Amino acid sequence: MSPEAASRDAMLTRIRTALGRKQGQAPPPLPEIYLRPTRPELSKFFACIERLNGKTLRAGSLVEARDYISALVKGKRAVASNSPVLRDCGITGLPEVTPAGDDKSTLRARCAESDIGITSADYGLADTGTLVMLSSHEEPRMISLLPPLHIAVVPESRIIGNLDELLRLLSAPAEQTSSMVLITGPSRTGDIEQILVRGVHGPGEMHVVVI
């Protein structure tokens, strides 16, 4: 037996021992696949976001949502997606906000120059505080990923329970979009000497407004 084969067998033996199995023993049958939809709780959705240093607001009206965002973008540059939700709130009409438009190269430049990206979201997962973004003409994905601050305005009707429920609603997401992004809190990483750093791979600050 070659040294490589001996090393492989020794490794597999350690794994079998840790699993309480013997060589040649058949693996147990796979557990039954099941979905566990849960009742969405807005308080839990907000708590999960805030636990990760995200900011939240339950807006009682479109006007309250617009006024909150108007205060955030004052004196800054913002780019907004083509979502009808933002248009209905009057957010795309704010003087600091530039709509995404239709040209991808222009949008890329706008996102690179903007302090804030404003979007809606296709779904929110209450159990984890996750935003589900399906890339489309209405929601170009770079708006939620490139500017250092991300604001998401989400109708409460789009808040669902958990990932299982999302997969029940979107069993084949590739048929609807080229990209499905799950965003849970501001961007953060611990890859550098296990020190938590925010804003490395995306926005370092996040606000979620639920209407």
Above pLDDT 70, what percent of the chain?
A: 91
Which pLDDT score is estimated for 20?
86
44 and 145 share one domain: yes
Q: Which domain CATH number covers 76?
A: 3.40.50.10420
Rounded average pLDDT over 18-44: 82
111 and 168 share one domain: yes
pLDDT digits (tens, 9 = 90+) for 192-211: 666 656 656 668 899 999 99
31-45, 51-65, 174-188: lowest mean pLDDT where?
31-45
**DSSP letter for each residue of the chain:** --HHHHHHHHHHHHHHHHHT--TTPPPPPPPPP--------HHHHHHHHHHTT-EEEE-SSHHHHHHHHHHHHTTS-EEE---HHHHHHTGGGSTTEEE--S-HHHHHHHHHH-SEEEE--SEEETTTTEEEEE-SSSS-THHHHSSSEEEEEE-GGGEES-HHHHHHH-S-GGGT-S-EEEEESS-EE-TTTT--EESSSS-SEEEEEE-
pLDDT digits (tens, 9 = 90+) for 156-197: 999 999 998 998 898 888 888 989 999 998 876 666 666 656
Number of domains making up the chain: 2
Entry pTM: 0.79
Range of the structural domain that residue 15 is part of:
1-30
71 and 18 share one domain: no
58 and 6 share one domain: no
25 and 103 share one domain: no
Which pLDDT score is estimated for 55?
96
61 and 165 share one domain: yes
Rounded average pLDDT over 86-111: 94
